Chains A and B, each alone.
Chain A
Amino acid sequence: MDDQASRERRLEQALEVCRPDGLPADDAASAFLAAEMAARPGVAERYRRLQGLDARIAAAMREVPVPGDLAGRLMARLAAERPAREVSRRWLLAGSGLLAAAAGLLVAVWLGLRGGQPLSQQYVLDEAIRSFENSPPELQHWLSDSPPGGFPFSGMLLPGRQVRWQAIADFVGRHGVAYDLSGTEAGRATLFVVAGTVEGLGPAPALQPFTTAGCCASAWQENGLVYVLVVEGDPTAYQSHLRLPTGPIA
Chain B
Amino acid sequence: MAESPSRVNITNLVADHHRAVYQYAYRLTGSVPEAEDLTQHVFLAAQRNLGKLHKLESARQWLYAILRNRFLKEKQKHWPLPAADLQLDMEDVPDTQLPETAIDREQLQAALNRLPDDSRLVLVMFYFEESSYREIAEQLQLPIGTVMSRLARAKARLRSILFRAEADGRAQPSNGGLASLAK
Contacts and interface: CB of A to CB of B under 8 A. Distances in A.
Given A13-B148, A17-B133, A60 B128 contact: no
B47 A81 contact: yes
Nearest to A50: B93
B181 interface: yes
Interface stretch (A72-80, A202-210, A225-233, A236-244): A72-80
B98 A53 contact: yes
A161 interface: no
A71 B181 contact: no
Contact of A81 (B18, B39, B44): B44
Interface in B80-114: 88, 90, 93-95, 97-98, 100-105, 108
A201 interface: no
A67 B32 contact: yes
Interface in A1-43: 9, 12-13, 15-19, 22-23, 27, 29
Most buried by B among A13, A27, A64: A64
Contact of A60 (B43, B47, B97, B108): B108
B88 A9 contact: yes
B97 A167 contact: no
B167 to A, nearest CB: 16
A63 interface: yes
A60 B27 CA distance: 11
Given A49-B97, A169-B10, A54 B152 contact: no
B10 A67 contact: no
A73 B11 CA distance: 12
A60 B36 contact: no
A35 B54 CA distance: 42
A71 B18 contact: yes
A70 interface: yes
Interface string B36-58: 10011001100110000000000
B12 interface: yes
A141 B16 contact: yes
Interface of B: 3, 7, 9-12, 14-16, 18-19, 22-23, 26-27, 32, 36, 39-40, 43-44, 47-48, 88, 90, 93-95, 97-98, 100-105, 108, 124, 127-128, 130, 132-134, 147-149, 151-152, 155-156, 158-159, 181
Interface of A: 9, 12-13, 15-19, 22-23, 27, 29, 46, 49-50, 52-54, 56-64, 66-67, 70-71, 73-75, 77-78, 81-82, 85, 139, 141-143, 166-169
Given A46-B93, A166-B11, 4 more contacts: A18-B133, A49-B97, A57-B158, A166-B15
